[in-house]
A and B are shown apart, each in its own frame.
Chain A
Amino acid sequence: MIEALGIWVAAGLTLAIMSFLYGDNPIYKFAEHLYVGYSAGYWLIYTWHFTIKLMVIQPIAEKQPGAIFLVIPLFFGVLMLTRWFPRIAWISRWSIAFTVGIGAGLTLTGAIHGYIIPQVKATILPLWTGNGFSSFNNLVIVIGVLTTLIYFFFSRPHTGVLGKTSKVGILFIMIAFGASFGYTVMARISLLIGRLDFLWSSILKLVHFF
């Protein structure tokens, strides 16, 4: 019985959200508010249980090795609460500055090692491989990467040779976008089929139940 009720609720809420295709309506509004409200509550509990309790309170209470260092994030976390007091609200900026600084540092090294170097390595290709098709393929990759990089030159006016090559670059970008668009739409259709299949199997289950 509880399982059937769960299916009813899930299928009903799916239809309520899908009713947005018709336009804004009270059923959608109800589902939307329920979704936003429950998810906000869920993340509050999740953060308390898996971040504050599990990663801060528990290690300190159990005097785990290295737990003393948790005082640093705890301190910056408490500083965020100063926003409630307008006179000292500016102190909360320290926490934001700390977070941004750490994030920028990590992103910089991550971007070089994870994106830039693999891209450079993948573009250094011989333009002659002994096979016409693969040689042409390599040529397209090299021209595509170089012209796209030129499109993202900001400190020079895009005129003359630079302007023409950047136009070739934007052409490559748009072709890539087209391919990506088609690929993602296929994936979304698959998601839609999955949801419709859920609704259909739910109906069959309910028919069987009654």
Chain B
Amino acid sequence: MILFILFSTITVKAFDTPNDGGGSITIKAYNVPETVKKALVYRKTEGDTTYTLAGVMSILSYRYVDADSTIKNGKPYYYRVDFYFPDTVISVVSDSPGIAYAQWYDKSKTSSLIFLIVFSTLVLVFIQLAKKDPEGLYIRKIPALDAIDEAVGRSTELGKPTFFVHGLLGITDAGTLAALTILRRVAKKVAEYDTPILVTNFDPIVMTASQETVKQAYTEAGRPDAYNEKNIIYLTYEQFGYTAGVDGLMVREKPGAIFLQGYFFAESLILAETGHSVGAIQIAGTTAKEQLPFFVAACDYVLIGEEMLAASSYIGREPVMLGSVKGADWGKAFLMGIIGIGVVLGTVGAILQSAGNGALMNVFEKILAFF
């Protein structure tokens, strides 16, 4: 009798999984005694006479998300959950069928939308301001970019080629796009100094974009005749095959300057060490934070993360680029403001909570949950 009263309190609800693209129903159990050993979820549709096993419910959260490929939006599904206790099994049927729907708006990403609107507005406003007064926008000195002329000049004096080694990500990566901007500057200098350049590529699309970039740089330098498409080469789409190829080229050609620009993985130190061993001046730039320490250790100059992205503005000084950097800075100030307010709220809330008043701490936790 006691057991019956205990188990009769268990309820199971089946409902559409919120904030998804449909095709999923969540089954949640309530008032489940802690002695339950396992819980199996069964499903049936209208017209079915028997339930079929859908999956195993977690006995920590008492929740199961049924995202089986057969789940159709708008169609009712009936669920039964079998709770296994040490000496008995109790079956509980969901009080209503679960129906999956696709949501147009994902409420869990509201904070992302707010951030996106704030950042985009700041960038657009500062681009407009930069167009009106491009001279009024300041970009701080980035030593690694100033060193480009020095590196290419040294290569020229030594009569050695300049190497530009792209990272391993494709054209959609922001770091690769920044690398192309830096390549334009390097190629222009190389064309002016009449020094050979070799650009190695991991990705064929990046190679195409590099060819366009170098060609344009040579034209800007007034030396379109000196442009040689064969100096922008594709090696392979395999990480260490690419590394072996670049290393081989480095030790044979012995470049005077090496630019390692883009997103690198485990090959970063192998490339930088080989470049160092041939005595080249090395300027690296990457947004891969795990690889930055290796470049810092083995290269002469390093563009750290966002410095690489700001390079476009530093080199080009175009109003759109300058405005976007200024807008991004204000975006960072906005983030710092949010962090500052949050920290003050959390600290005061914690102090008040220790004094017996937890109201402010509740507000703080609700704000954190919003993010």
Contact = CB atoms under 8 A, between A and B. Distances in A.
Interface of A: 17, 20, 23-24, 28-29, 31-33, 35-36, 38-40, 42-43, 80, 83, 92-93, 95-96, 99-100, 102-104, 106-109, 112-113, 116-117, 120-121, 123-130, 142, 145-146, 149-150, 152-158, 173-174, 176-178, 180-181, 184, 188
A132 to B, nearest CB: 13
Contact of A40 (B119, B241, B343): B241
B140 A156 contact: yes
Nearest to A38: B241
B251 interface: yes
Q: Count chain B CB atoms within 10 A of each CB in A24, A32, A95, A126 and give the residue with the most.
A: A126
A126 B293 contact: no
Contact count band on B: 35 or more
Given A35-B244, A96-B209, A157 B140 contact: yes
Contacts of A145: 339
A156 to B, nearest CB: 7
Nearest to B266: A188
B290 A180 contact: yes
B306 interface: yes
B68 to A, nearest CB: 19
B158 to A, nearest CB: 19
A29 B173 CA distance: 32
Nearest to A106: B172
Given A100-B177, A158-B140, A39 B236 contact: yes
Interface in B66-83: none
B46 to A, nearest CB: 25
Nearest to A92: B208
Interface in B228-284: 235-238, 240-242, 244-245, 247-248, 251-252, 266, 269
Contact of B248 (A24, A102, A107): A24
B115 A117 contact: yes
B292 interface: yes
A184 B139 contact: no
Interface stretch (B24-32, B84-92, B188-196, B330-338): B330-338
Contacts of A100: 171-172, 177
Contact of A35 (B241, B269, B304, B368): B241
A108 B346 contact: no
B287 to A, nearest CB: 10
Nearest to B268: A184
Contacts of A35: 238, 240-241, 244-245
A178 B293 CA distance: 7
B290 A17 contact: no
Contact of A93 (B212, B247, B304): B212
A124 B237 contact: no
B250 to A, nearest CB: 9
B105 interface: no
Contact of B347 (A24, A99, A120, A126): A126
A42 B171 contact: no
A156 B368 contact: no
Nearest to B250: A24
Contacts of B296: 174, 177
Contact of A155 (B293, B326, B367): B326
Nearest to B177: A100
Contact of A153 (B245, B332, B343): B332
